[in-house]
């Protein structure tokens, strides 16, 4: 249930998706459902599976038309998708650690805006949770200079570990559009909205949601779409037109029987 939109606990994304629904976000199960035009932003949050070449082709066309794609993942597996979109950004797995952190744990890395990208406008810092790092593209958010990749896992700066800034959000122009890669999907879970800091993690989420007139969320491969079987059945019933018609008919019949019974009594 990690990242699931149906999970209200600390590691779910129920609060994020509630706001998405309130903003009338369009949910798509595949890239063949993406609309034309160049006024949309597509969010791909925590993919659970790889994308096929034909799917990547559809997404690249969408991107080149002038739309925005925001990919949120900490897995190097997504580099196949990124390279297929024609971007130079790459995700690098690694235990990004920093002295500048929010909790008393080296993996709660603080990241700060780099440059003047609109995605970082008005946000002073965000909190990460076991993030990966990025290479390539234009840095949008980076860790502080007091950061390193903790290769040996001891949470301490070792002799072969170098202090430097690491990019955690990067942008790259592809055709007329822009690809953003965020190297930590956990910045949008419920628990990260409850840590204070004026909710700047969610301020970032809201800027993503409002960046373009149309906001679209991928739900075909995303781990946020996972639901237990019981919830799947409930959703199927809720979304079924036949079921809705049956419920309306049943209500009508019950009402009719009640009216006829009252009429006979009179």
pLDDT tens digit string along 35-49?
999 999 999 999 999
Q: Are residues 183 and 202 in the same domain?
A: yes
Q: Does the residue 157 lie in any domain? A: no
Query: What's the confidence (pLDDT) of residue 233?
Result: 41
Query: What's the confidence (pLDDT) of residue 104?
Result: 79
Q: Are residues 22 and 82 in the same domain?
A: yes
Partners of 216 in the β-ladder: 26, 42
Q: Does the residue 85 lie in any domain? A: yes
- Domain membership of residue 259 as a residue range: 229-265
The domain total for the chain is 2
Q: Does the residue 106 lie in any domain? A: no
Query: What's the confidence (pLDDT) of residue 53?
Result: 96
Residue ranges, the chain, pLDDT below 50: 195-197, 229-240, 243-244, 246-247, 259
Q: Does the residue 5 lie in any domain? A: no
């Amino acid at each position: 249930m990690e990242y699931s939109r149906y999970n209200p606990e600390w590691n779910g994304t129920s609060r994020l998706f509630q706001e998405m629904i309130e903003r009338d976000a369009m949910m798509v199960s595949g890239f063949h459902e993406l609309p034309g035009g160049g006024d949309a932003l597509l969010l791909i949050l925590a993919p659970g599976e790889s994308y096929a070449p034909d799917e990547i082709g559809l997404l690249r066309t969408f991107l080149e038309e002038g739309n925005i794609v925001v990919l949120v993942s900490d897995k190097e597996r997504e580099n196949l998708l990124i390279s297929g979109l024609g971007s130079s950004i790459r995700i690098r797995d690694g235990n990004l650690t920093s002295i500048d952190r929010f909790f008393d744990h080296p993996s709660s890395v603080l990241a700060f805006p780099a440059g003047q990208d609109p995605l970082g406008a008005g946000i002073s810092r965000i909190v990460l949770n076991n993030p990966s790092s990025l290479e390539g593209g234009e840095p949008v958010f980076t860790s502080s200079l007091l950061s390193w990749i903790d290769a040996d896992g001891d949470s301490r700066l070792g002799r072969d570990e170098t202090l430097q800034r690491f990019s955690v959000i990067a942008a790259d122009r592809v055709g007329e559009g822009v690809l953003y890669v965020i190297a930590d999907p956990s910045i949008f879970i419920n628990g990260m909205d409850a840590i204070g800091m004026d909710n700047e993690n969610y301020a970032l989420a809201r800027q993503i949601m409002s960046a373009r007139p149309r906001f679209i969320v991928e739900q075909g491969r995303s781990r946020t779409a996972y639901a237990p079987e019981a919830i799947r059945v409930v959703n199927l019933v809720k979304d079924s037109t036949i079921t809705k018609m049956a419920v309306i008919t049943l209500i009508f019949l019950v009402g009719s029987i009640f009216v006829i019974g009252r009429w006979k009594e009179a």
